[in-house]
Chain A
Amino acid sequence: MPKLIPVPDELSKPFWDAVNEKRLIVQHCTGCNTLQYPPRPDCQDCDSGELQWKETSGRGHILANMVVADGRLGRTRPDQPFNLAVISLDDDPKINFFSNLPGVPPYQVPIGAAVEVMFEEVEPGQLIHEWRLVEE
């Protein structure tokens, strides 16, 4: 389905550059050793500005799922209903990502199932991170 296309800014450009190289990175605070996503200027736990980018395992589990049946985003409305799943990252389950779980029918999402990151082109030259089911 056609997806909305992210426009990188100064803060997010390293993240989207990595995604375009098919790598999933998140911020790592060297002050308190926590991971952070989405990126922020400072660490939300200790306010440190000492943030580095760290590549993740790209593996996670399905924390929850919603099905968008009457959403507000015009570009995605023709494809309703569709999954809007929440993926917790195995590296730190407090980090989560959205996913449409391509190939998984709406209302049939296996909560708790293992997933791995994949990448999907939303316009020429711009990928976004997506997730697919895997065997544990």
Chain B
Amino acid sequence: MTQQSAEWRRNRLGMGVWPHQGEVAIVGWGQSPVDRRWDGVNMDRTLGAYAILAIKRALEDAGIEPEDLDGLLCCPENMAGNPGPAGSWGPYRPYFPPPYDSEDGLTVVTNNWLRGQMPELTNIQYAPDNVPAIGDGMGFAAQACADGMYQVGVYVYTANNLEGRYRQGGEFDNAHVSGNRQWGQPWGDYQGLMTSTNVPIQQYCERYGITWDELLSPFVINQHRNGLLKNPDEYEGWSYYYQYGPSQLTTEDYVNSRHIYFPLKIWDCDRPVNSVGAFVFATAERAKDMKQKPVYVANHSQGSGGRARSTQETLEDTEKAKEWVARLVYEGSGWSPSDVDIFNPYDGFSTFMPTTLEAFQWHGVGKGDAAAFLTGDIRVEGPHPFCSGGGNLGNGRTRTAMYIDSIQQLRGTAGPRQVSIKGGRPQTAICAFAPGNSAAYLCLTNEAPG
């Protein structure tokens, strides 16, 4: 049932607590280096090479051997290429000798390619084709494990941007626009999250009497700080900013940075990178004897809280959508806001944050409270360690930081980012790759429920 069917999704209210709580655990993670882009030269830094490295690191973290894996779940989606069929990234030069004689291994990585390059994966029984991107994908992996499709498997997410610029050209260079694009692109709205989430934040600022910079700069700066707080026990870490000349973003840097879609600035946007993350899932039965203390999946969710009522999403639209998302997540986990120790929602754009915080009511943040919260003490050492992993904004667009940090926080291995809850380790975490009004959240817990 988890092969390709949509039935695995938990995307509507009324489904209740996930019936497989405590049956699936994450027991390992691995991340490749985080580069700005592949240089087209070093074959040990391709997307494929990084996928292999991330898997090996995840297996090492879990303390298991390649032959222990019976599930391989590599997401073949990627971020390379311009939008639309006209702009698919292609070889501007000849391909390379095998295994880099096609797109597979360069701009995409598939299960088949990995199995070809990792003959040590001798026991793979489950390797579905259409593994979703990491937001839905982590839930897909958890559900597949719970459904008995595999017992020990690795989910792999590849993030790349080989062109350097993100999503320009292709269909975006066309003169004519059809379908839904006809309602925004004639005026220059590319119809993505930089505009759909922009106006709601402008309205938020107006409603609560705060400027854009005042509201968002403390959060963005804190994300960079968290991204630089590398655990010294880890290899090179998983932050682009740490690996390529660590320096702390300042308020002055933020305020003076160039606009993309004014008032949205470049530091409100994550940095596209070339990197791969991998996560080992296992049944609770198999997990109990592994190297790491299992981090159990308490719930996964998908779907969307809704769309703009008209052309441009408004604050009212956003609030309504995110309240639905939060209800879905809490219903599926059986948790209430006060049960959540670690909250790592998705921050691909800083504009996601105020309304997400208020919808989830984390640390008692109610409607209108996000401004005071975000401008308060949100450091990992402080009383409100929001987004302790630094997210995409603090690490680059790996889309894995939210998950890695949550796992580390629950294990107690986050090093200088380690959050203390009443003198002890955090016990629960919510993490996500949930852009806009997406409901793609994952709930994790230290203790096997029930």
Query: Residues of A with Cβ closer than 8 Å to B?
Result: 3-9, 12, 36-38, 44, 63-64, 66-76, 81-82, 84, 86, 94-100, 106-107, 122, 128
* Contact (Cβ within 8 A) A66 B174: no
How far apart sit A114 and B183, CA to CA, in the bound complex (Å)? 22
How far apart sit A128 and B186, CA to CA, in the bound complex (Å)? 8
Question: Which residue of chain A lies nearest to B309 when distances are taken between CB atoms in the complex?
Answer: A94
* Contact (Cβ within 8 A) B261 A75: no
Question: Which residue of chain A lies nearest to B199 when distances are taken between CB atoms in the complex?
Answer: A64
- Return chain A residues, CB-CB under 8 Å to B258: 69-70
- Return chain B residues, CB-CB under 8 Å to A100: 187-188
- Return chain B residues, CB-CB under 8 Å to A6: 176-178, 182, 186
* Contact (Cβ within 8 A) B168 A67: no
* Contact (Cβ within 8 A) A98 B184: yes
Question: Which residue of chain B lies nearest to A76 when distances are taken between CB atoms in the complex?
Answer: B188
- Return chain A residues, CB-CB under 8 Å to B314: 63, 94, 96
* Contact (Cβ within 8 A) B199 A86: yes
Nearest CB of B to A26, in Å: 9
The winner among B168, B189, B310, B311 for most chain A CB atoms within 10 A is B310
The verdict on B169 contacting chain A, using a C-beta distance below 8 Å, is yes
- Return chain B residues, CB-CB under 8 Å to A70: 258-261, 266
How far apart sit A36 and B308, CA to CA, in the bound complex (Å)? 11
- Majority secondary structure, B binding face: mixed
- Return chain B residues, CB-CB under 8 Å to A82: 188
List 28 interface pairs A-B (beta carbons < 8 Å), by A numbering.
A3-B186, A3-B187, A3-B188, A4-B174, A4-B177, A5-B177, A5-B186, A6-B178, A38-B180, A63-B203, A64-B312, A66-B198, A67-B262, A69-B258, A69-B260, A70-B260, A70-B261, A73-B173, A73-B185, A74-B169, A74-B173, A75-B173, A84-B261, A86-B312, A94-B310, A96-B311, A98-B312, A99-B187
How far apart sit A75 and B261, CA to CA, in the bound complex (Å)? 16
How far apart sit A99 and B187, CA to CA, in the bound complex (Å)? 6
Which 10 pairs from chain A and chain B are nearest by CB? A67-B262, A74-B173, A6-B182, A98-B187, A7-B178, A69-B259, A38-B183, A72-B190, A64-B199, A76-B188
Question: Which residue of chain A lies nearest to B185 when distances are taken between CB atoms in the complex?
Answer: A4
A73 in contact with B261 given A99-B187, A122-B186 (CB within 8 Å): no
* Contact (Cβ within 8 A) A7 B176: yes
- Return chain B residues, CB-CB under 8 Å to A74: 168-169, 172-173
* Contact (Cβ within 8 A) A5 B175: yes
Nearest CB of A to B80, in Å: 15
13 new A-B pairs (CB below 8 Å) besides A4-B186, A38-B311, A73-B172? A6-B182, A12-B182, A36-B310, A38-B180, A38-B183, A63-B199, A68-B188, A68-B262, A72-B168, A73-B190, A99-B187, A100-B188, A128-B187
